[in-house]
């Protein structure tokens, strides 16, 4: 019953935000070109790295491309869902319109996280998948059901971790009002997800596994694709994902207690 | 006449500086978001990728630190502010004033750089704490020259973005064009990899484009790496002298086109 209601609400969200976004058609085309150029740029950077060496951090070029593919998919999802919605939180809180969201008979986290959609990110997701399929071919990976299941699980976990990270940071707006730049910091750290974690020095590796779980976001799923990931890594990823989801939910409910609306 | 303009500019600078100081935390966060060059340095040295381009670890770390500094003091965001002002119609009162609105944005950028300065220094100190061997003090002459070239790099980017911002008069959402242009800036300017490491094919044409002069040239100058000073400054000045008339022209056309929102 409840699920049905939420699905219905979500289709309405989709309809309204798509129709408003399609008003800016040239914008959409420019964003498509940007996505393509951005992928070309990062592959260009990789070729510079591999000019005189055949592996960085134990990954060869073909394997490193898988990370690019997964990063591109995740970045597309970020641009389609997380970025447009979660930057909106800042606006809601500054202008006090969060009141209206809280008064609605739907879950506020659901409303805030999924209200908008930016279709320009779709192309990035498609590009990422295309690159991934190409990588599966050149790395001669055998596809079977268990493999697909594991890949899907880890990628979904990555998406959820990524969402929780964005949501956690956006929630801090309730105290600091303007955290637009905090999401920018997160964005620049996530940029590291384009490269294998092993290519960094030991201290950065620890930093990127514990404080900002970039290791879990791109490296482990890529490892699964290559059949290199160990079972404990996959289980750890699922546990980390659960912790992050619960933490972001708890933090949101906790933060709402401190929400005092604008000018009061 | 020019005295009056200088007066206006200093007043604007003072106002904007106190305005920017209000947003210290924001600017500190922004400074932190610029630390990508340090991560890149880590990849380069950790995998010994720099051996092939004949740069020692120390020179490379100085290069990336300088790249970080140059980037900190040449960040431009005028298109985003202008777009918001144009969409909300705030441009109208600015246009009536006997001062080109871009002076206001220019002052905002300079004031923001002053506010950012201490944070950039703190980040650099932390960097030296971890890499004490890469500490160096450039000679006063080199330091001044690299400040000038950083400022010229800022000017080039400010002009390019102002030209894009003027497109708001026609398309309303010009920031997506800026995001498009940011991609080649990111990959070709030398922020992620020094231009000398690029493949020969790319190197054959890249020095005609403005990109290497945005970060690579000033950073090489400051860090004491090899660079051609004369052609670097010359190209920066050439690009400014090309872009400035374009900006003036598009500004004149745009203001004629401008009709304020809702009319």
User: Could you tell me what percent of chain B has a pLDDT over 90?
Assistant: 51
pLDDT of residue A1: 66
Q: Is B47's CB within 8 Å of A49's CB? A: yes
Q: Read off the tokens for A255.
A: 């933060």
Smallest CA–CA separation between A174 and chain B, in Å?
A: 15
CA distance A230 to chain B (A): 24
pLDDT of residue A251: 94
Cα distances (angstroms) measured from residue A29 to each of A33, A77, A169? 6, 18, 30
**What is residue A56's three-state secondary structure?**
strand
E strand or H helix that includes residue B14: helix B2-22
Using a CB-CB cut-off of 8 Å, the residues of chain B touching A53 are: 47-49, 52
Name every chain A residue with its beta carbon within 8 A of the beta carbon of B54.
Answer: none
Positive or negative: CA dihedral A16, A18, A22, A24: positive
At A177, the pLDDT band (50, 70, 90 cuts) reads low
- Distance from C-alpha of A219 to C-alpha of A214, rounded to nearest angstrom: 8
* Nearest chain A CA: its distance from B169 CA (Å): 15
CB pairs under 8 A between A and B: 90
**Nearest beta carbon to residue A45 from set B172, B179, B187:** B187
| Rounded-to-integer distance, Cα A262 and Cα A20, Å | 27
Among A41, A53, A176, whose Cβ lies nearest the Cβ of B183?
A41
Q: Do A204 and B23 count as a contact with CB atoms less than 8 A apart?
A: no
Question: For residue B261, what pLDDT is reported?
Answer: 61
Q: Is B100 helix (H, G, I), strand (E, B) or coil?
A: coil
DSSP H/E element including B132? none
The whole-angstrom separation of Cα B21 and Cα A229 is 48
Buried b (16+ CB within 10 A) or exposed e, B195-223: bbbbeeeeeeebbeebbbbbbbbbbbbbb
Q: Do A51 and B183 touch (CB under 8 A)?
A: no
Task: Check residue A45 and give its pLDDT.
Answer: 92
Calculate helix-pair angle for B36-46, B57-72, nearest 10 degrees.
170
- For residue B18, with 0-12 CB atoms within 10 Å meaning exposed, 13-18 middle and 19 or more buried, which class applies? exposed
Token pair of B55 as six digits: 């740069």
**Interval B99-158: pLDDT, tens:** 888 988 999 899 989 888 999 999 999 999 988 888 888 899 999 999 999 999 999 999
Residue with tokens 């201490």: B118
pLDDT value, residue A198: 86
Using one digit for the tens of pLDDT, what is the confidence trace for A60-99?
A: 898 899 999 999 999 999 999 998 888 888 888 888 888 8
User: Which of B23-27, B158-162, B225-229 shows the lowest per-residue confidence on average (mean pLDDT)?
Assistant: B23-27
Q: Where are the domains of chain B?
A: 3-260
A48 interaction partners in chain B (CB closer than 8 Å): 193, 197-199
Q: Does residue B263 register a pLDDT over 50? A: no
Q: In the structure encoding, which two tokens stand for residue B176, read together?
A: 């997506």
Task: Identify the CA nearest to A224 among candidates A125, A141, A126, A133.
Answer: A141
Looking at residue A77, what is its pLDDT?
Answer: 94
Least confident of B53-67, B161-175, B220-234, B238-252: B161-175
Confidence band for A183, pLDDT divided at 50, 70 and 90: confident
pLDDT band for A180, please (50, 70, 90 cuts). Answer: low
Higher pLDDT, B38 or B262: B38
Q: Which of residues B161 and A57 earns the better pLDDT score?
A: B161
Residue among A34, A222, A43 nearest A123 (CA): A34
Q: B43-82 burial string, b = 16+ CB within 10 Å, else e?
A: bbbbbebbeebebebebbbbbbbbbbbbbbbbbbbbbebb
pLDDT of residue B155: 96
CA geometry: angle at A225 spanning A220 and A228, to 5°? 65
Q: Per-residue pLDDT tens for B175-193?
A: 888 889 999 999 999 999 9
Decide which of A194 and A142 is more confident.
A194
User: CB distance A185–B177 less than 8 Å?
Assistant: no
Q: Chain A residues with CB inside 8 Å of B173's CB?
A: 24, 27
Q: Do B49 and A195 touch (CB under 8 A)?
A: no
How many Cβ atoms from other residues are within 10 Å of residue B253's Cβ?
13
In this complex, do B33 and A27 lie within 8 Å of one another by their Cβ atoms?
no
Which residues in B have their CB inside 8 Å of a CB on A?
23, 25-27, 29-30, 32-36, 39, 42-43, 46-49, 51-52, 171-173, 176-177, 179-180, 183-184, 186-187, 192-193, 197-199
Residues B153-183: tens digit of each pLDDT: 999 999 999 999 998 888 767 888 888 999 9
- Return the closest-CA partner of residue A233 out of A245, A221, A251: A221
Of B33, B176, B184, the CB nearest to A185: B33
Residue A120 and residue A32 in contact, taking contact as beta carbons nearer than 8 Å = yes
Q: Does A57 sit within 8 Å of B29, measured CB to CB? A: no
Per-residue pLDDT reduced to its tens digit, A13-23: 999 988 888 88
**B231: Cβ–Cβ under 8 A, 6 or more apart, which residues?**
B207
Question: Residue with structure tokens 């950012």?
Answer: B116
Indicate whether B3 pLDDT > 80.
Answer: no
CA dist A246 and A248 (Å) reads 6
Which contiguous run of DSSP H or E holds residue B139? none
How many C-beta atoms surround the C-beta of residue A12 within 10 A?
10
Per-residue pLDDT tens over the stretch A209-253: 887 788 788 888 998 988 888 888 899 999 999 999 999 999 999
- Chain A residues interacting with chain B (CB cutoff of 8 angstroms): 24, 26-27, 30-31, 33-34, 37-38, 41-42, 44-45, 47-49, 51-53, 56-57, 176, 178, 180-182, 184-185, 187-188, 191-192, 195, 199-201, 204
How many other C-beta atoms can be found within 10 angstroms of the C-beta atom of residue A108?
17
* CB-CB under 8 Å, B43 with A51: no
pLDDT of residue B243: 96
For A59, the 3-state DSSP assignment is strand
The interface predicted TM-score of the complex, written ipTM, equals: 0.86
**Chain B hits for A34, Cβ within 8 Å:** 176, 179-180, 183
**Alpha carbon of residue A227 to chain centroid:** 23
pLDDT of residue B262: 54
Taking CA atoms, B1 is separated from B96, B101, B245, in Å, by 19, 18, 21
| Average pLDDT of the residues in A29-43 | 90
When pLDDT is cut at 50, 70 and 90, the band that residue B12 belongs to is: confident
Q: What is the distance of C-alpha B107 from the center of its chain? A: 14
The Cα A186–Cα A183 span in angstroms is 5
How does DSSP assign B20-74, residue by residue? HHHTHHHHHHHHHTT-HHHHHHHHHHHTTGGGGGT--HHHHHHHHHHHHHHHHTT
């Amino acid at each position: 019953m409840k699920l049905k209601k939420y699905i219905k609400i979500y289709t309405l969200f989709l309809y309204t935000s798509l129709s408003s976004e399609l008003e800016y058609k040239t914008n959409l085309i420019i964003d498509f070109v940007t996505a393509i150029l951005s992928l070309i740029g990062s592959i260009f950077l990789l070729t510079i790295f591999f000019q005189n060496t055949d592996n960085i951090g134990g990954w060869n070029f073909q394997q490193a491309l898988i990370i690019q593919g997964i990063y591109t998919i995740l970045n597309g999802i970020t641009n389609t869902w997380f970025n447009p919605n979660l930057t909106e939180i800042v606006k809601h809180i500054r202008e006090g319109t969060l009141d209206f969201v809280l008064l609605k008979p739907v879950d506020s986290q659901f409303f805030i996280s999924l209200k908008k959609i930016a279709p320009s990110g779709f192309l990035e997701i498609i590009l990422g998948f295309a690159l991934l399929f190409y990588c599966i071919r050149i790395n001669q990976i055998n596809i079977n059901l268990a493999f697909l299941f594991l890949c899907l699980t880890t990628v979904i976990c990555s998406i959820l971790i990524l969402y929780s990270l964005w949501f956690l940071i956006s929630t801090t707006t309730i105290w600091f009002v303007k955290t637009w730049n905090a999401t920018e910091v997160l964005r620049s750290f996530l940029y590291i997800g384009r490269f294998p974690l092993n290519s960094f020095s030991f201290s950065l590796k620890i930093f990127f596994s514990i404080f900002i779980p970039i290791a879990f976001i791109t490296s482990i799923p890529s490892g699964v694709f290559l059949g290199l990931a160990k079972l404990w890594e996959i289980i750890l990823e699922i546990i980390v994902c659960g912790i992050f989801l619960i933490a972001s939910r708890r933090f949101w409910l906790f933060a709402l207690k401190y929400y005092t609306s604008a000018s009061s | 006449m020019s005295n009056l303009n200088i007066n206006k500019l200093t007043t604007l600078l003072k106002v904007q500086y106190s305005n920017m100081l209000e947003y210290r935390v924001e600017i500190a966060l922004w400074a932190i978001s610029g630390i990508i060059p340090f991560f890149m340095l880590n990849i380069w040295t950790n995998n010994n990728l720099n051996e092939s381009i004949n740069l020692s670890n120390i020179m490379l770390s100085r290069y990336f630190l300088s790249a970080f500094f140059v980037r900190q003091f040449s960040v431009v965001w005028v298109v985003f502010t202008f777009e918001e002002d144009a969409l909300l119609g705030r441009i109208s009162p600015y246009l009536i004033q006997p001062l080109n609105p871009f002076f206001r944005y220019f002052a905002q950028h300079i004031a923001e750089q002053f506010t950012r300065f201490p944070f950039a220094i703190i980040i650099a100190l932390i960097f030296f704490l971890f890499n004490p061997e890469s500490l160096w003090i450039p000679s006063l002459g080199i330091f001044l020259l690299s400040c000038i070239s950083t400022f010229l790099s800022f000017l080039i980017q400010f002009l390019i973005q102002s030209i894009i911002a003027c497109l708001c008069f026609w398309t309303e959402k010009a920031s997506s064009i800026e995001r498009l242009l940011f991609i080649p800036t990111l990959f070709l300017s030398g922020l992620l990899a020094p231009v000398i490491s690029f493949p020969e094919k790319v190197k054959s044409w890249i020095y005609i484009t403005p990109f290497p002069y945005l970060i690579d040239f000033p950073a090489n100058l400051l860090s004491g790496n090899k660079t051609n000073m004369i052609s670097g400054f010359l190209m920066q000045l050439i690009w400014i002298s090309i872009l400035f008339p374009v900006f003036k022209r598009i500004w004149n056309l745009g203001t004629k086109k401008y009709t304020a929102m809702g009319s």
